[in-house]
Structure 1
């Protein structure tokens, strides 16, 4: 049956209200049939549940379902008889019968429009304003942690700016509470001033600052009784500032182990706030542990040496009150041996009571021995001395503990040589070194040429980078055999002579400077004395003496005025009876800059085959030197103008006359192991034959 439908035109234009009347609908399943299909339920709520098998599906009884009534179209007063619509007849179109074009054949390249950059993400810019934190000194901390400032004033949209502002609200509240403003509040707002870019404003209202109303420490008795209270730098009335309170508690953890309590534990603080008085009751539990003293050593791991040698490195004795600064020093000494990939020192309780009532502590040294072999090199250049290269191979623990074998070689323009050294570091005492050495060398300077062999033994007590000592010393013995050419004034020609020399070199030093490699204040004094005997036809005893003083005075933070004075004397022997290699010379990078190596002092009247004056230095029995520098440093670089003076004399005591001066400027590059030095200098009132410009390159300051 066709349902009458109004045409589209009629529906759009007719103002008539359509009223719809629905015919009665009969139920699909009659009520009586539906009720009979329901299972029977027991009235006893405590009856057991029926088995699941009872619910198996059963075939429904066959019933006759009456046909649904055919719906009739609603009628209206204006309804017209409906006409049967003919089937739509489409014009014949062969294209519609063709298969669709595959999607892969379409060009999906975006269309680029001139002047429009679709690749650039949309971005808005904003300013950040924070109010209210200046008065509590919280603005700097806010800027360091702010989400708004971390965004660098850029965001994809305003919602992102709003989210950052909300995060900074909480940040402002945390900052206020950390400074004791527990009632502080913060709000944020996004503003768009006319003609300006977006602005995020965070406003903090700190309120009143809470202070400490009482301080209570729960701890055991200590010696002295007020030790914990003394080392907790808080007092009633102080603001409840998180940084200050944490620092005070950290001070307890730091200072008590320095005063005999290595096992101290600082517990969790408790602060009870009182809104009425705007104060807080502060309680801190501290477990001090036993008062302790140094006891024994033990060691474990991959060992470089045993526990007995650990005790040699310690600067404390058994029974001394425990001080963790001395334990840190012991660990630094272990590290400085260069024998470990890793090493730690940990205190352990022993339960053993010392006579003074303290408990002995065992120090457990955990070792992880590393590679003991080292290859090292050194290079330098000086006008008149040329290039000098030195290399060495070292096994630092070939003869434990800390018995090193060192093989050394030198190759240079004017020096070549090789040597072997046995060295025992920390020999029976911390920082005391014992050495046995054997060297053979050839030196070829303007003053002399020498083939020298040396056997020596030496004990020394030296400064180290981790412990710069005020007083240092060294003593030993040397046997030297040397064949040297020298100018013989009796025959007015050069001759080769062989000398045998025995020496007992002694050294003493006193140092108040602040740094071993790059001092900026203080002074140093050095004294060298060497009783010697020369055997060259006859035995001639004599003494060599050298004294040196340096001082460092800072001017501001960037400039250091440094000065040096040195004087030397040889007593008891004529200059011409002294081996040329044992005489004094001056000139060069470590002496008087501006002059070549060994260029100053008396000179020979030699002439070559063509009659030209060779004018070679001959050395002397005394010398005097002075130097003054202004060391200006900026960052890792520095500029050093300087002036040096000095002279060598034939007499046994320096006269101070005929001083020669050199001036120049140097550059410094500061590294973690010392400054790299480049100095350029020229002699003042230069004489014929002297260097015009002298260049010096080395490691370390000139003095």
Structure 2
């Protein structure tokens, strides 16, 4: 067995600067003073001291100056070279020295420097060593001792050795991974209650040159909780803290379970009025003799509180505290509940008017009812952009292209008073409308809406120019708050000039209808998602008493019922189904404006057929609508990542009678694709009719946003 060690670093090479180039090699010169004569002239330390003592001078006296010493040495050097004048002679004068001369001028160097952009620097290319790869160390990982603890898979998911996939640059790197896994194993076993666990890593050299990294774990015994002690004052209701702490004697001391139990206490106390509860640091005293631990938790619940007022601040505010009190689901004096605080925060976010918003409790210290203390809520807000542009694009066979765009100022009339301007541009429909909408109008989730619009529709069944006024009160779902019960009630007045077919003979006439309606709609939603449901069901009932004035007054009632269900076969496959029945009661079909009759066919109805294509037809094979309908659909939805495919079968028919006959049912089959986004799936479906009739297309295409149902 070997333990790999890090290899020493290579020495750093030093680069000596190159000397200036010379055109001629220097001639061999004799030294000024030979080595043996230099050593002989050099006095030793002892001789210096002796001279000093003999001469009566101090050896530590001041040395002669450099100039004096040079004057003493010059004669000696002259004798050694045989060219200096004798001692005592005057030094040579400047006249005796060779005349100074200017160095020869190099004509090339005297030329002006070239421009920088014309200088070509030779490119030194290093040798290509890309083919030379650092030798790789291969190793295998062996885990011993995990046994029946059930922790091996969790360890492997975080192991450095396993993550390395048996490859490393050096043996030292393998050793570092093994040491890291030692610490990981100990931490993991301690977190699961094995507080006596130890781990040892080693490396074995194999015969084939590879390494084997062996991690041996000794778990030891697993500790259990012996005693649970809570240091806290009594709460209301009694035992609230202990009941919220989901630990009991005999449980294994598992870190995640202990942390989850403490988090539950921190969650439950604010739900029961203790807005400022604090959880202290736990203490677990282990006893190796009994393999148990005594658990102690200090808790400071703080005062029990009740709601009082809402305050708000922010440089740019969407609306004030008065409207926030309308949105809140509590009143002054209600017991503080953190769930209601979270609900208020979510409701404020759902308005779409805030760039940021935070809701925090404020301790007042003022007494409230029943021995409580008042708690205020402070909302720190920053209003976001109030204007929004939105668009929708779709295509359907028989309906053509349809694009709808809208501009909205969501807070033009505070609080939450919006102005919406919409435009519809399509191959067979055009229109403009304006709408005023006030959300949370006097009550949470209640919306008032009033609008006016002009619309033109031209389909095979009819052509209509319509002017409309409408007003309604509603409670509707949003992506943040999907409500179980929804409703809408209101009224509308329509003035419509329509080109209509009187009977099956195909004779057309243009008539003007004055229509009044009082529509009511009630919905019940138990699905798990508003835009992309995968489980649950939805039901919707719509009843609209109406009166049509065209010559005579013709009262009648339009009613429809829709039911859709969703069943997950697996995580990626959902089976969805839908059914619908509808009726018009109290009037003959020809007395109903064509735009108010019942039709079927198209992307939201029976796929495989054009828009409004099913049902009775005139002599020109154009649909003329009916007074009753039934529809059925079954769809299998398979999703993989952000994509999906669907296969579906749709069926339905429109009848002239008031009650659906459930006969002569027409079917369509098809396939579709989905691209899932955060705001719902993009949908593209293609379908073909079964037993196609003359005049019907071989296939139909539908493109839109959201599931078909």
Question: Given the two structures, how large is their TM-score scaled by the length of structure 1?
Answer: 0.81
Offset at 1:482? 0.8
- Give 1:182-331 correspondences, 5 Å limit: 182-301=195-314, 302-331=316-345
CA distance in 2, matches of 1:548, 1:697: 22
Offset at 1:447? 0.8
- Tell me the equivalent position of 1:15: none
**1:553 is the counterpart of 2:549:** no
Offset at 1:452? 0.6
Offset at 1:688? 0.7
CA distance in 2, matches of 1:185, 1:623: 74
C-alpha spacing 1:196/1:243, structure 2 compared with 1 (3 Å) = farther
Deviation string for 1:525-579 (max 9, x for gaps)?
2221112121222222222222222233333434333222222222222222221
- Tell me the equivalent position of 1:616: 622
Of 625, 639, 649, the match for 2:645? 639
Q: Which moved more, 1:218-227 or 1:491-500?
A: 491-500
- Tell me the equivalent position of 2:172: 159
Q: What SS class does the counterpart of residue 325 from structure 2 fall into? A: helix
CA distance in 1, matches of 2:505, 2:191: 91
Q: Which moved more, 1:279-288 or 1:138-147?
A: 138-147
- Give 1:475-514 correspondences, 5 Å limit: 475-489=489-503, 493-514=507-528
Q: What SS class does the counterpart of residue 528 from structure 2 fall into? A: coil
**1:535 is the counterpart of 2:549:** yes
Offset at 1:439? 0.6
C-alpha spacing 1:383/1:122, structure 2 compared with 1 (3 Å) = same
2:505·2:618 contact (CA, 8 Å) conserved in 1? no
CA distance in 2, matches of 1:474, 1:672: 27
- Tell me the equivalent position of 1:417: 431
Offset at 1:329? 1.8
**1:598 is the counterpart of 2:604:** no
Offset at 1:141? 4.0
- Tell me the equivalent position of 2:194: 181
CA distance in 1, matches of 2:50, 2:385: 95
C-alpha spacing 1:650/1:3, structure 2 compared with 1 (3 Å) = closer
C-alpha spacing 1:276/1:487, structure 2 compared with 1 (3 Å) = closer
Offset at 1:175? 2.4
C-alpha spacing 1:314/1:25, structure 2 compared with 1 (3 Å) = same
- Tell me the equivalent position of 2:137: 124
Offset at 1:28? 3.6
Deviation string for 1:125-179 (max 9, x for gaps)?
2223232235433334433443434444333322332233223323322223333
Q: What SS class does the counterpart of residue 667 from structure 1 fall into? A: strand
Offset at 1:26? 7.7
- Tell me the equivalent position of 2:685: 679
- Tell me the equivalent position of 2:182: 169
CA distance in 2, matches of 1:505, 1:552: 28
**1:694 is the counterpart of 2:700:** yes
Q: What SS class does the counterpart of residue 482 from structure 2 fall into? A: coil
Q: What SS class does the counterpart of residue 190 from structure 2 fall into? A: helix
Of 580, 586, 592, the match for 1:566? 580
- Tell me the equivalent position of 1:544: 558
Offset at 1:336? 1.2
CA distance in 2, matches of 1:468, 1:61: 105
CA distance in 1, matches of 2:199, 2:590: 91
Offset at 1:347? 1.1
- Tell me the equivalent position of 2:93: none
- Tell me the equivalent position of 1:80: none
Q: What SS class does the counterpart of residue 379 from structure 1 fall into? A: strand
C-alpha spacing 1:586/1:154, structure 2 compared with 1 (3 Å) = same
Q: Which moved more, 1:535-544 or 1:478-487?
A: 535-544
- Tell me the equivalent position of 2:442: 428
C-alpha spacing 1:291/1:134, structure 2 compared with 1 (3 Å) = farther
Offset at 1:3? 12
C-alpha spacing 1:586/1:63, structure 2 compared with 1 (3 Å) = closer
Root-mean-square deviation (CA, aligned residues, Å) is 3.0
Offset at 1:516? 2.0
Structure 1 runs not aligned, ≥5 long: 5-22, 38-58, 65-86, 88-104, 606-613
CA distance in 2, matches of 1:161, 1:692: 66
C-alpha spacing 1:287/1:31, structure 2 compared with 1 (3 Å) = farther
2:506·2:618 contact (CA, 8 Å) conserved in 1? no
- Tell me the equivalent position of 2:113: none
Q: How many residues align?
A: 612
- Tell me the equivalent position of 2:368: 354
- Tell me the equivalent position of 2:461: 447
Offset at 1:318? 2.8
CA distance in 1, matches of 2:461, 2:643: 37
CA distance in 1, matches of 2:45, 2:703: 115
CA distance in 2, matches of 1:317, 1:230: 28
C-alpha spacing 1:205/1:487, structure 2 compared with 1 (3 Å) = same
Offset at 1:231? 1.2
CA distance in 2, matches of 1:107, 1:543: 91
Q: What SS class does the counterpart of residue 424 from structure 2 fall into? A: strand
**1:656 is the counterpart of 2:670:** no
- Tell me the equivalent position of 2:29: none
**1:464 is the counterpart of 2:478:** yes
Offset at 1:230? 1.2
C-alpha spacing 1:25/1:287, structure 2 compared with 1 (3 Å) = same
C-alpha spacing 1:360/1:603, structure 2 compared with 1 (3 Å) = same
Q: What SS class does the counterpart of residue 259 from structure 2 fall into? A: helix
Offset at 1:392? 0.5
CA distance in 1, matches of 2:455, 2:45: 129
